[in-house]
A and B are shown apart, each in its own frame.
Chain A
Amino acid sequence: MNGGQDLGGTDGHGPVQPEPNEPVFHAEWEKRAFAITLAMGMPGGWNIDMSRFARENRPPGEYLAMSYYQIWFAALEHMTKERGLVADDEIAAGRSLRPPKPVKRVLSPADVAETLHRGGPTERETNTKAIFKPGDAVRAKNINPPTHTRLPRYVRGRIGTIERVIGCHVFPDSNAQGAGENPQWLYTVRFDSRELWGDDGDPSVAVSIDAWEPYLVPA
């Protein structure tokens, strides 16, 4: 979606302000929000792409005015409610008002290290062949889906060069909608800055993105 999250090349946000000696978390609730989000992946049954969409899918003004963990937390509330795991009245009461729905598994303290170590690899076996090879000129398609995509607006319609064939990976555009993993070849594509930003672009700058095959056409 062309939402508040698609920030590449937008103006007016001011300078980057690194914080000296920044702590990992800025408040107790941030720790909880972070950990609950990770822990709920297992019983919640959603995938990373669904989580990303739940975060970005809100009015842009709201997105931009929220802090990072507020966005995470809002998505967590949304997904737990959407799946009927908790209800508004329970959140308002601050306690459980009805019995839980059965879930596959709950993350135990002993499982944490192993689960984190395993991570969530997205590479998949395939019988298909990659259409593009390094050095090929490609154009990023001009697509504007209202659903989740990982093709940022600033590269759409622009021409780049295949730099690396990464492998065949879960396709987020379909996985985010619960329409299956639908794995697709993934490439690193390099764009010249002037191609992206016009004649005023800095000629010494190039930008690479990772793009799934359905995002690309030969140029």
Chain B
Amino acid sequence: MAHDHDHHHDHDHGSELSEMQLRTRALETILLEKGYIDPAAIDVLIETYEKKIGPRNGAQVVAKAWVDPIFRKWLFEDGTAAIATLDFGGRSGNHLVALENTPSVHNMVVCTLCSCYPWAVLGLPPLWYKSAPYRSRTVADPRSVLRDFGLELPKDTEIRVWDSTAELRYMVVPMRPPGTDGWSKEKLAELVTRDSMIGTGLAKQPRDLK
């Protein structure tokens, strides 16, 4: 690999920054001046996705599925309806499908064509999810991608990759770690990481909680 050369990974936005700052400011000003947007709307949006909606939503779904067998069954039958009862709703969550990880099947979610992601339960996607390495390699060689995350699965585990090519949004329900019997939903939710709901990680172990 020619890794000694300069790369342009998505996260080197330093060089673009000042130019992009100017360009977005120009657009925003024009749209404001033409009356297409209300500055307060912009603030609501940023506030919503920066502060309110995030993987904590998804973690609540997973924790509930771990303790409540009826909810769990419903979640896998009709993710959209089951999740709606938790009142997140929202954009890019209209057709949510929950995927069950088991000792024999591990699910992973990608969008090779753009960056489709279940915003309603996970918030906005991290940079790596939108990056070329992830989008290119996950469908062809998911195990090597898992290795980038330090995760090595048993050789005979079936890996199911879900390429979100349409309006369906996927969330992975990771396996419940052992040693968590009798835990409350709130405490269980702390074990559920964002990556475990994308499929690039597993839920935390009890000992991982400080």
Contact with B along A54-68 (1 / 0, CB 8 A): 100111111001000
CA distance A81 to B2 in the complex (A): 11
Check B2–A61 contact: CB distance below 8 A.
Answer: no
Are B5 and A74 in contact, CB atoms less than 8 angstroms apart?
yes
* Closest B residue, CB atoms, query A53: B2
Selected from A54, A65, A88, A144, the residue in CB contact (under 8 A) with B2 is A54
- B4 x A59 contact (CB < 8 A): no
Q: Is B140 an interface residue (CB 8 A)?
A: yes
**Number of residue pairs spanning A and B whose beta carbons lie under 8 angstroms apart:** 24
A183 CB → nearest B CB, Å: 28
Size of chain B's interface in residues, with CB distance under 8 A? 9
- Is B181 an interface residue when CB atoms closer than 8 A count as contact? no
- What residue of chain A has the Cβ atom nearest to residue B133's Cβ? A59
- In the complex, what residues of B have CB within 8 A of residue A59's CB? 7-8, 132
Q: When the two chains form the complex, which single residue of A60, A78, A144 contacts B132, counting CB atoms closer than 8 Å? A: A60
Q: Choose among A57, A60, A62, A78 the residue that contacts B6 (Cβ–Cβ < 8 A).
A: A62
Q: When the two chains form their complex, are residues B132 and A61 in contact, meaning their CB atoms are under 8 A apart?
A: yes
Measured CB to CB, the closest approach of chain B to A17, in angstroms, equals 24
Instruction: State how many residues of chain A have any CB contact under 8 Å with chain B.
Output: 13
B166 at the interface (CB under 8 A from A): no
- Interface membership of chain A positions 76-105, coded 1 if the CB is closer than 8 angstroms to chain B and 0 otherwise: 001001000000100000000000000000
Give Cα distance in the complex from A64 to B179, angstroms.
Answer: 52
**Residues from chain B with Cβ under 8 Å of A88 in the complex:** 4
B17 at the interface (CB under 8 A from A): no
Give the residues in chain B near A54, CB-CB below 8 Å: 2
Residues of B within 8 A of A144 (CB): 140
Q: Which residues of B contact A60 (CB under 8 A)?
A: 132
Question: Taking CB as reference atom, which chain B residue is nearest A61?
Answer: B8
| Residue positions of B touching A, CB distance < 8 A | 1-2, 4-8, 132, 140
Known: A81-B4, A144-B140. 12 other contacts (CB 8 A): A58-B2, A58-B5, A59-B7, A59-B8, A59-B132, A61-B8, A61-B132, A62-B5, A62-B6, A62-B7, A62-B8, A88-B4
